[in-house]
């Protein structure tokens, strides 16, 4: 993990943005878990004193709240945008598949790190449940747009979502090419319809 450039000369860290601190905290969370996200360590990583941290945040808890919001914005928003965006139900499902395969706009490691954190923090657990519910609701709406009745749309949404969460929880490792080869079959099984075109990189 490389240190961020500091634009100040008084070591107060004012040249570091709020997002800079969140980015460093995220990297620590992904690598070692939430217990590694400590003020002293963050300050050392950024090359400033603790005072530099308090220039942007009131406390460690304040930073952790910002980190949780960052996860919601960067990891959940793309999923909802893919599902609720323009296009036919099949096209929107394809965008979701593309999101999961590419792992660019969406980071499964970030989701996993947040879920691990949620095991020890009720507030984070509640946030994860809320995000999961929004994702499943968006998937249910997609399946209703496919023409499925309310309950079947809900079951298909849950199966689709739980399958993907389980894929990451079990740490399945497949090459992107293999995932692409299987994507049409997954689409057929999960939606009941063949994918109009192969998912391509």
In this predicted structure, what is the pLDDT of residue 2? Answer: 41
Question: In which residue ranges of the chain is pLDDT below 70?
Answer: 1-14, 194-201
User: What pLDDT, on a 0 to 100 scale, did the predictor assign at position 195?
Assistant: 54
Smallest CA-to-CA distance from 24 within 5, 8, 7, 10 is with 5
Residues with Cβ within 8 Å of 171's Cβ and at least 6 positions away in sequence, in order, are none
pTM attached to this predicted model: 0.83
- Residue 154: closest CA among 166, 164, 144, 145: 144
Q: Which of 41, 51, 39 is nearest to 3 (CA)?
A: 41
Nearest Cα residue to 100 out of 183, 14, 184, 10: 183
Domains observed in the chain: 1-57 (1.10.10), 67-191 (1.10.357)
CA 19, distance to chain mean position in Å, is 16
pLDDT at 7: 37
Per-residue pLDDT, 169: 85
Confidence at residue 131, expressed as pLDDT on a 0 to 100 scale: 96
Q: What is the pLDDT of residue 99?
A: 92
Of 196, 185, 191, nearest in space to 153 by CA: 191
């Amino acid at each position: 993990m490389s240190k961020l450039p500091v634009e100040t000369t008084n070591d107060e860290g004012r040249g570091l943005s709020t997002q800079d601190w969140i980015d460093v905290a995220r990297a620590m969370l992904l690598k070692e878990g939430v217990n590694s996200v400590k003020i002293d360590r963050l300050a050392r990583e950024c090359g400033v004193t603790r005072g530099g941290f308090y220039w942007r945040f009131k406390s460690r808890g304040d930073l952790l709240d910002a980190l949780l919001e960052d996860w919601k914005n960067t990891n959940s928003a793309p999923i909802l945008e893919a599902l609720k965006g323009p296009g036919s139900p099949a096209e929107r499902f394809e965008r979701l598949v593309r999101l999961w395969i590419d792992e660019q706009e969406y980071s499964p490691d970030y989701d996993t790190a947040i879920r691990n954190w949620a095991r020890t923090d009720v507030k984070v657990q509640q946030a994860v449940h809320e995000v999961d519910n929004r994702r499943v609701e968006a998937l249910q709406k997609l399946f209703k747009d496919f023409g499925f009745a309310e309950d079947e749309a809900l079951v298909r949404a849950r199966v689709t979502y739980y399958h993907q969460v389980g894929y990451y929880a079990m740490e399945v490792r497949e090459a992107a090419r293999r995932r692409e080869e299987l994507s049409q079959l997954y689409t057929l099984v999960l939606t009941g319809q063949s994918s109009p075109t192969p998912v391509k990189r």
